[in-house]
Structure 1
Amino acid sequence: MTRSAGLVAAAACCLALAACAGQSIGGGAVPQRSSGAPTSSPSNTAPAGDLAIARNDTRADSVYPEFGDPLVDALHYDLDLTWAPDGDRLTARETLTFRATGDAPRIPLDFNEQLTISSATVDGAPAEVSVEGNDLTVAHAVVADRQYVLVLEYSGSPVSAPAPSQRADFSQGVGWTTTAEHETSTLQEPYGAFTWYAVNDQPSDKALYDFTLTAPAPMSGVANGVLASSTTEGGRSVNTWHLAEPASSYLVTVAFGDYQHTDLASASGVPIQVWADADGDPLPGDTAKTPAAIDWLENLLGPYPFDSFGVLVVDNESGMETQTMITLGDSTYSLSEAVLVHEAAHHWYGDTVTPADWSDVWMNEGMAMYLQGMWEAEQEGTTMLSKTDDWAVFESDLRAESGPPGAFDPTRFGDGNIYYGPALMWQELRERIGDKRFFEVLREWPAREANGTSDRREYVDWIEQTTGEELSDFFDDWLLDENTPERD
């Protein structure tokens, strides 16, 4: 995730989400309107296929336990969403296929009372539902390890929820946002998906997704994955999207707006789309350099782990590593080459391998920050050691203000402490074990844990086994101590 340039310029030592970037790329592409034919097709079809890839060992989150429930293991969400901009109204039909992890008299999910449920069934039978605050309860008993299909029909005007953060770019809240022009977008880290669909809103539960997005033309809907079909009929546009790899709810995106899209490709053949305002530049900011960002990262981390990559430009000042379709605010900083690579880097660290608990968000941001520093050092003609020396000047202030990276203040989500301290830690580990083993660790971990989740203990144990080093105290010091450890 990234934050606005103004915040970075005003207080670099207190702002966290910097990015990585790549190198420039030549060539251009012909912009297309979103009503055109899809450029590629899905690699498989859910839920007809095997859903085992989306099976998770769910858990209660230690930082935000009020969201998500380990009883539910979501396997596939089918979201049929219709947006009516004249009344800012969402009408939806959701089909959730899930596995119960235990016996229980009811099904708990996260949802928002701003939306009214008109119909609910479980395996085809009507079910009573109740919504209180952000908690949805479906009155239907479940049995451990059995699969169920919940279908909900609902409508209303979604609104964002308060964010557990002090950052200015979180001031609009988390979840669904509607602009003054009646366009929409979603940003939902560490939670907020519940503002527009019924969801197990926690990082440990990854699921497959299909979307059918309907809006009055020339508006259209954009989401994660591959654009499977796109039609316009009777004054309405209908875009269907398919995400073939499981994603945590915080990595899901849906937006409705008047878009054009441009097709690009990386050197290795990763298909790339840039979705931007139909009345503006088809490749705003540095988005034309997106293929180079993928190229630079693949050289370090191995093959890009998903079927496709995209950039969705929306009306805000932030950025988010939404899986396969990063969401970037329409600002100079958010659309910079640096932010592009930062968010793309998360597809290895955060998206294909995801923290099972929000206390381990440093696993995402620390590595993306470190990769940012590597790229910046290349651009500046300096060394990574020099870059981390600069960061070390203010890292202790971040830690004092917001807590250690692995035990941060829950009301200060996304502060710089989860970025810079872990980035310094990675440089210390690199110097300790040498470049060869360090870059093997960087490359092998996301490949080993593809489409999974992990926590600090699992990650550290694996690094120790891979390197042959005893590193428990090293990681504890960097991630849990209130004071910055001494650097070698």
Structure 2
Amino acid sequence: MTPRRVVLLTAVLSAAAFVLPETAAVASAPHGTPGSVGSGDPYFPRQGNGGYDVSHYRLAVHYVPGTKRLSGVAHVTARATMTLSRFDLDLRGNLHVSSVRVNGHRAAYRQPKKLVQELVITPRHALRAGRRFHVTVHYAGTARPVTDPDGSLDGFIPTDDGAFVASEPQGAPTWYPVNDTPRDKATYAVSITVPKGLTAVSNGALTGRHAHGRLVTWSWALHQRVSSYLVTATLGRFAVSRGRTSSGVPYLTAVDPREAAAKPVLKQLPAIVDYFSKVYGRYPFGQAGAIVDHAHKVGYALETATRPLFDRAPDVATLSHELAHQWYGDDVTVAKWRDIWLNEGFAEFSSWLYTEHTGGQTTAQHLATLLANPASDSDEWLPPPGNPGSGKGIFADSVYDRGAGTLAALRQLVGDRTFFAIMRGWLPAHRYGNATVGQFTAFAQRVAHRNLTHFFYEWLYKNGKPTG
């Protein structure tokens, strides 16, 4: 773990007041090979980069809602996995870089428009394989989200009083330089400077709140490694509450006063966290909580690490779904986006399970309701959750509903004892790492001591309603 760091005021102010861009004297490193552009995910070919692994991000961000001006300083600690003559970070072109340093030395950099989100960095000297290196990037621009293949917005989404920052699947580069692949997990220290009267919320523990003039800096630290799409910097007018669950997990909630309907729902948050801790194993992070914004145009909630993010007051089913992601999605994360069933199917099933636990419809009843849908109901059955087909399909209804049905049907097939051994055993096998659907199905077969190939084909891969 990287020790917690608090960004000093001077570092934050440097994010808001930039000097003219530096011009690096070195055009290319003398030895080594360029890191790859993209991490090899066919659904999002530009996402991520090759040649290095990030261990820690220290971010100092400043945002002015009235002008949508976003500026920042990013400190990135990484290890080269090959000898690098140059490498890329992901950063959208509307955020203009004014300075890059690698290991304290000025580095050459480019932001080619045709590459959309590539910050191409050439250090003074090649970065040797296996060695740790540090990158500092100063940048600024007008905040702007991206539009996903399914038409939804993600990334840094301005609101009437701040910003709703939800980065799944490709929004992280809208607000900081990043190796934006789910496979490159890192720890984070995030400081967000905003006008007085606003609250800025990120992941993990609140480590400081510092007022300076008309500004306030909120500092947060997350010591467990997570994927970049799970990091937030949501800001606006929020009422903040704190507490501990019965098992001792600290939590913090931030609620827009216009979303008062969230209060009775959030009262169940401690019980939900403790229930899933009992069923699935210990809570994987040091903090829990929720952020409820007034951002209805967004149209979805997101399982940001430690503190799920909602665009309006959630119901209990939505809250339990997003909290379950802390285990399935945030702790164990997809290796590639086609593996999204490991996130969404598991979280949706967990929502069904919590409903059962509180005296509502059982998972078997949910499954029966699902199977009552005819084969012609393509929304429930297509695309198959084990192969959504493209970035447009990863959040399809079938990934959630048929995906949850897969686990409900598996529970019926193998029995509760074996089923929950599978669910609990899967997490420590991949803790704070990444996994594939194929790894899960193989794991389930080992624990169940039976061949489940046909079962998983019918539920996860068949083009149409499962028949057995």
TM-score by length of 1: 0.82
Instruction: Look up the equivalent residue of 1:45 and give its one-letter code.
Output: R
Structure 1 position 413, deviation (Å):
3.0
Does the alignment pair 1:426 with 2:407?
yes
Please give the residue correspondences for 1:25-64 in structure 2 after superposition, counting only pairs within 5 Å: 44-45=3-4, 60-64=40-44
Please give the residue correspondences for 1:18-97 in structure 2 after superposition, counting only pairs within 5 Å: 44-45=3-4, 60-97=40-77
Instruction: Look up the equivalent residue of 1:213 and give its one-letter code.
Output: I
Please give the residue correspondences for 1:337-376 in structure 2 after superposition, counting only pairs within 5 Å: 337-376=316-355
Please give the residue correspondences for 1:220-231 in structure 2 after superposition, counting only pairs within 5 Å: 220-231=199-210
Structure 1 position 448, deviation (Å):
2.8
Please give the residue correspondences for 1:198-209 in structure 2 after superposition, counting only pairs within 5 Å: 198-209=177-188
Q: Is the 8 A contact 1:72 1:108 kept in 2?
A: no
Residue equivalent to 2:117? 134
Quote the Cα distance in structure 1 between the aligned partners of 2:44 and 2:373.
Answer: 28
Q: Secondary structure at the residue paired with 1:99?
A: strand
Quote the Cα distance in structure 2 between the aligned partners of 1:218 and 1:400.
Answer: 45
Please give the residue correspondences for 1:213-224 in structure 2 after superposition, counting only pairs within 5 Å: 213-224=192-203
Residue equivalent to 1:448? 429
Q: Is the 8 A contact 1:285 1:336 kept in 2?
A: no
Residue equivalent to 2:14? none
Quote the Cα distance in structure 1 between the aligned partners of 2:447 and 2:174.
Answer: 41
The percentage of counterpart residues that share the same residue type is 29
Which string of whole-angstrom CA distances, capped at 9 and with x for unpartnered residues, describes residues 289-310 of structure 1? 2111112212211221110112
Q: Is the 8 A contact 1:395 1:421 kept in 2?
A: no
Instruction: Look up the equivalent residue of 1:345 and give its one-letter code.
Output: A
Which string of whole-angstrom CA distances, capped at 9 and with x for unpartnered residues, describes residues 359-407 of structure 1? 1110111111112222334456443222111112348534687422122
Residue equivalent to 1:288? 267
Quote the Cα distance in structure 1 between the aligned partners of 2:211 and 2:78.
Answer: 32
Quote the Cα distance in structure 1 between the aligned partners of 2:66 and 2:74.
Answer: 23
> CA 1:82–1:177 in 2, change beyond 3 Å: closer, same or farther?
same
Q: Is the 8 A contact 2:337 2:394 kept in 1?
A: no
Moved more, 231-240 or 206-215: 231-240
Q: Is the 8 A contact 1:208 1:243 kept in 2?
A: yes
Structure 1 position 233, deviation (Å):
3.0
Please give the residue correspondences for 1:229-244 in structure 2 after superposition, counting only pairs within 5 Å: 229-244=208-223
Q: Is the 8 A contact 2:254 2:290 kept in 1?
A: yes
> CA 1:477–1:214 in 2, change beyond 3 Å: closer, same or farther?
same
Q: Secondary structure at the residue paired with 2:173?
A: helix
Q: Secondary structure at the residue paired with 1:338?
A: helix
Q: Is the 8 A contact 2:209 2:216 kept in 1?
A: yes
Structure 1 position 278, deviation (Å):
5.4
Please give the residue correspondences for 1:392-411 in structure 2 after superposition, counting only pairs within 5 Å: 392-394=371-373, 396=375, 397-398=377-378, 402-410=382-390, 411=392
Please give the residue correspondences for 1:294-333 in structure 2 after superposition, counting only pairs within 5 Å: 294-316=273-295, 317-331=299-313
Structure 1 position 125, deviation (Å):
1.0
Quote the Cα distance in structure 2 between the aligned partners of 1:108 and 1:200.
Answer: 8
Q: 1:121 aligns with which of 92, 101, 109?
A: 101
Q: Secondary structure at the residue paired with 1:121?
A: strand
Q: 2:147 aligns with which of 154, 162, 181?
A: 162
Q: 1:105 aligns with which of 74, 85, 94?
A: 85
Structure 1 position 482, deviation (Å):
0.9
TM-score by length of 2: 0.86
Structure 1 position 236, deviation (Å):
1.8
Instruction: Look up the equivalent residue of 1:329 and give its one-letter code.
Output: D
Cα root mean square deviation, aligned: 2.3
Q: Secondary structure at the residue paired with 2:79?
A: strand
Quote the Cα distance in structure 1 between the aligned partners of 2:283 and 2:374.
Answer: 31
Moved more, 439-448 or 188-197: 439-448
Which string of whole-angstrom CA distances, capped at 9 and with x for unpartnered residues, describes residues 173-206 of structure 1? 111111133x112112111101111111121111
Q: Is the 8 A contact 2:206 2:219 kept in 1?
A: yes
Structure 1: runs of 5 or more not aligned: 1-41, 48-57
Higher relative contact order at CA 8 Å, sep ≥6: structure 1 or structure 2?
1
Q: Secondary structure at the residue paired with 1:174?
A: strand
Residue equivalent to 2:466? 485
